[in-house]
Amino acid sequence: MIVLLLFMTYFVIRVGRQAYTKLPGDWGVYYSAGIAMRERLPIYTLERGPMLTFKNAPVVALAAVPLGSLPRPVARIASLLIDFTLLTALMYLVTRLIFFNAPPKWPHAWVALAGCLLVYPFLLLQLSAGQTTVLFLACTVAGFYLAVRNHPTTAGLALALAICLKLVPLCFVPYLLFTPRPVRAIASTILCSAGLLLLPALWIGWQANAALLAQWPVHLRETNIPAQVWRLQNQGVLGQLARRLSITDYGINVASWDLASVRSLWLTLSVIFAGLLYAFVWRTRRDPHARATHLALLMTFMTIFNPLAWRYNFLALAIPYAVVVASILRRPHDRLTLILAVGSALFTPANYDAQIYGARLTGAVLLTAAVVSAYVNRENDSRRPSNEPGVLGTTVSQ
């Protein structure tokens, strides 16, 4: 606890000093958007170039108005404390899914902490950059958790919030079909999304909000420059394909494709892997213990198939890591899962040269395999009669 408090204190001082001396990059985008929305100025601008421009739904700028009303250092520290709070909340929900119907115990916190430590480079980057990663991950996990626990209305609201922050949580919408009340959950997601998109009209008026909603997709398209796809920091499937199948400066091309063809291939692969993922979900839909596995796989899919898979987006891998760590502690002789997890932990925080050759993507794929391996081995254990308690105090399901 003392170490965590020191860690938080260090980052509070660090980001406070950064905000006092200059406008921080990623966080500054949302802070500036909050000021612009408060003063009813344009929010989709290119004042700081296409990389540091506001790309979220107008309602996100409206939500940033309170921060934009505070002095910059105070607002930055407040957003950092919100990140810490949301990270704690989302990992708590993850452990509740991992230890299904098990009484809460301190080892649960250690599993959550292990998941965060295994993605510590991305956690440090998120805390420094102040992106919205923790916020949209918390909303996504909350939506998933509420949906599987039969709270479809609030689940739809949480998922709608996540989608307004980042479009990639859309991959969770089909999962609502496998929850206790799918129709209500999907309807809530659609209605809440529409409500959130219309909400800024109460502040800026209906015509101004309609203009912003029309500008949003145009701005997204115009600022999606090829350099963002080719950049080494884009470590998803699309980035790796672009660096290998199109003309770049890295000298490792095996073909010369235009970027439109690369995007078509990426979209095709996304659909294929989404189909495989949901086929697995369909096969295991009646097992309540599989929900944590489903969440872990969806989080990994959302991360690596993100068209702009920046480094801080890989913070989402804390969730599948927590699932795998819990499985290894419960079944320490599961060598395959352990080997896959260790391989993933070695590849994921790869250095510059290794990233060129897709080390981070390889680590995410190994982690996916570890999650599946852990689930398969748990299923095998459940077929063997046993009343022995697990390492974390859970019993093997019959």
Tokens of 53: 């421009």
Tokens representing residue 396 in the block: 């093997």
How many degrees, rounded to 5, is the angle at CA 73 between CA 67 and CA 79? Answer: 45
pLDDT level of residue 345 (50, 70, 90 thresholds): very high
210 vs 11, more confident:
210
Per-residue model confidence (pLDDT) at position 394: 42
**φ, ψ at 263 (rounded to 5°):** -65, -35
In order of 204, 205, 252, 258, 361, the CA distances from 211 in angstroms are: 11, 10, 44, 33, 38
The pLDDT of residue 127 is above 90: no
At residue 388, does pLDDT exceed 70?
no
Q: How far is CA 45 from CA 122, 152, 215, 278, 305, in A?
A: 28, 37, 10, 38, 27
Share of the chain above pLDDT 90, in %: 57
- Confidence bin at 10 (pLDDT 50/70/90): low
Distance CA 43, CA 212 (A): 8
| pLDDT bucket at 321, cuts 50 / 70 / 90 | very high
pLDDT in tens, 18-56: 666 666 678 889 999 999 999 999 999 888 888 888 999
First to last CA, the chain: 37
In degrees and rounded to multiples of 5, residue 211 shows phi and psi of -65, -40
- The answer, yes or no, to whether residue 71 has pLDDT greater than 70, is yes
Q: Indicate if the pLDDT at residue 381 is higher than 70.
A: no
| Per-residue pLDDT, 299 | 97
